[in-house]
Structure 1
């Protein structure tokens, strides 16, 4: 049996959420990034926008395997802010994401335990709003059809993709229409059989390279 490598997920788009705990405002921002440098640019924009806030606490995880991580307490007691945010990212198995929690101090001290809970909650509730994007190793499958049949096979591939964990790729029009699908390797034989059946054996799938592909939606 072939073992399919599992990759951490990421998020589709930035999300923001605010909560108030004992008069302190905690504003969470989760932003998709491509590198630590990209994350630093997001952090800089937050600090510039919310220049009057007391703290901008941060955690980021980057890399296809989620093997790069950083966190910052930004003046909060050590271990009470950045690490709790990072733990939320780790528990959710996310990568290429930076979370910034901006705090406007409300005058009431929360204590170490209260800060950990507050920053964890801010990160969690912010990420609850995000659309999760899975990452999977998929194989390129190309189907070349006459232009007159492109609509029919495009519809067939869309339906097939929904039931077989595949995702649609590009459609290219040259002398004939080239329809692209990214397919879990274990499902390639099924695709080939289904296309052969639908075309009475007149069409065949061309199998290409594998790559890690973003897949939005439920597993």
Structure 2
């Protein structure tokens, strides 16, 4: 099986609320590109909901989906993080985090009840955000003289490359992500430009 050229993710945030016997489960979905991005989301929600009993979560990162983490944040083991991750995986998403904030309502829900509640809250919030396909990119660093700027940017735009970082002086440094599906075409075009150096990142 060949490796995919695209991965599925979300590009908007959303939240949804699920209630069960007085307990409130507020689920938030975030597009995240790194563990640091994710940590910012958790900090924000802890500030927004300082009185909540639990902030449970799951995320999956990387176009191959190999980086993931789940947390039950004090709930019985396996009742929160895993069911949340299950919902992310059922939509084959990556670079996606779901955090569920729980306010305890006084009635214990038991293990099956908790699994159901966290699963439902995660499913509800993920129904609110459209799934988007994004190209898997190969990262390169380009170095070139400022006079070549227009030529380079035309190729970047024409082939839908993303710009991760740029330093524009007399000598320019550009970090770009080239969609895997267009890699050969882009490399061919860039290699035609004299005095442009290409480094794979």
TM-score (norm 1): 0.63
Q: CA RMSD in A?
A: 2.8
Shift of 1:102: 0.4
Q: CA distance change for structure 1 residues 209 and 10 in 2, over 3 Å: closer, same or farther?
A: farther
Q: CA distance change for structure 1 residues 130 and 121 in 2, over 3 Å: closer, same or farther?
A: same
2:121 aligned partner: 122
Determine which structure has more spread, i.e. the larger CA radius of gyration: 1
Size of the aligned set, in residue pairs, is 156
Shift of 1:20: 1.0
Shift of 1:135: 2.3
Q: CA distance change for structure 1 residues 98 and 173 in 2, over 3 Å: closer, same or farther?
A: same
2:130 aligned partner: 131
* Alpha-carbon displacement from aligned partner over 1:53-91 (angstroms, at most 9, x marks no partner): 111101011112111000100110000001110111112
Q: Does 1:28 align with 2:27?
A: yes
Are 1:58 and 1:73, in contact at CA under 8 Å, matched by a contact in 2? yes
Q: CA distance change for structure 1 residues 120 and 6 in 2, over 3 Å: closer, same or farther?
A: farther
- Structure 1 gap ranges (5+): 139-171, 187-206, 211-219
Q: Report 1:72-83 matches (<5 A).
A: 72-83=71-82
CA distance in 2, matches of 1:87, 1:13: 20
CA distance in 2, matches of 1:119, 1:113: 10
CA distance in 1, matches of 2:20, 2:6: 35
Moved over 4 A (4+): 181-186
Are 1:7 and 1:65, in contact at CA under 8 Å, matched by a contact in 2? no
CA distance in 1, matches of 2:150, 2:135: 27
Q: Pick one of 129, 153, 158 that aligns with 1:180.
A: 158
Shift of 1:130: 0.5
Shift of 1:137: 5.1
Shift of 1:40: 1.0
CA distance in 2, matches of 1:6, 1:80: 34
2:198 aligned partner: none
1:97 aligned partner: 96
2:64 aligned partner: 65
Are 1:8 and 1:66, in contact at CA under 8 Å, matched by a contact in 2? no
2:14 aligned partner: 15
Q: CA distance change for structure 1 residues 69 and 108 in 2, over 3 Å: closer, same or farther?
A: same
